[in-house]
Amino acid sequence: MAKIRLDKYLADMGLGTRTEVKKFIKKGQITVNDVIIRAPEYKTDTQTDRVCADGQPVSYAGVEYYMLNKPQGVVSATEDKREKTVLDLIVSKKRKDLFPVGRLDKDTEGLLLITNNGELAHQLLSPKKHVDKTYVTKLLHPLAPEDAARLEEGVDIGEPELTLPAKVKLLNTEGTEVQITIWEGKFHQVKRMFWAVGNQVVFLKRISMGSLALDKGLKPGEYRLLTQEEIMRLKEHAGTDKSSDF
Ligand code: URA
């Protein structure tokens, strides 16, 4: 059972700032289980109490998880003065504290997890965890077999250490479409790895991260909530607390 103050409940769900929602409460606009509650500090059960604002139900979401197929041209940030952000695309979000788990470049497409579960994000991004990320790339030049072998051994991208061995699979006979799996997440890593073997990425799309695979039904710019099973498998993969998200 998770009980929180009524003003926090409403503010968490984006009905306004704490000051604004306190005014709604005091004016008698909020009911809990059909009873008008005028006390902002009223302890509300986020799972069982039925809260309404002006008669409209307001259900509570403690933690949200969205899978976004990030389109090109959008930045992986929570807010930006000039650019459209990935958070701007999640129009049905309830929580205000959502953030993208890691970054995809502005010109990269594909799987981006958006949540407010900080512990899960931390585990998925931790360099020590070596969570696998798979990308589909289109390259300027065909990938020579010896360059694929170098990527699979580790290449020098200007960091103190070589990259960890990647897994490379050709997706077309010319060798210009290549799937690559890496277990790290350095800045521009995939592009820098192909640069290191004298090639250039002209299109990049992430198709999986750990146990989470991009839903093929999502077009660029589309998103959906994760299923309970996807959430459990991700938490298992990352070794985070699997208790309830309320
Ligand atoms: N590697 C890159 O170079 N760019 C991305 O967006 C993700 C991985």
Q: Quote the crossing angle between the two packed helices 145-153 and 189-196, to the nearest 10°.
A: 130
Structure tokens at 88: 């701007």
Distance CA 229, CA 65 (A): 12
List all residues whose CB is within 6 A of at least one atom of ligand 1.
104-105, 108, 188-191, 204
> From the candidates 45, 49, 105, 132, which is the catalytic residue?
105
| Contact call for residues 200 and 194 (beta carbons, < 8 A) | yes
pLDDT digits (tens, 9 = 90+) for 77-127: 999 999 999 999 999 998 989 999 999 999 999 999 999 999 999 999 999
Q: Please give the average per-residue pLDDT across 30-58, as a whole number.
A: 97
pTM exceeding the 0.85 threshold for the entire prediction: yes
pLDDT digits (tens, 9 = 90+) for 206-233: 999 999 999 999 999 999 999 999 999 9
Does the structure show a pLDDT above 80 at 246?
no
> In ligand 1, which atom is closest to the CA atom of 192?
3
Distance CA 110, CA 89 (A): 14
CA 180 to centroid of chain Cα atoms: 20
| Contact call for residues 134 and 181 (beta carbons, < 8 A) | yes
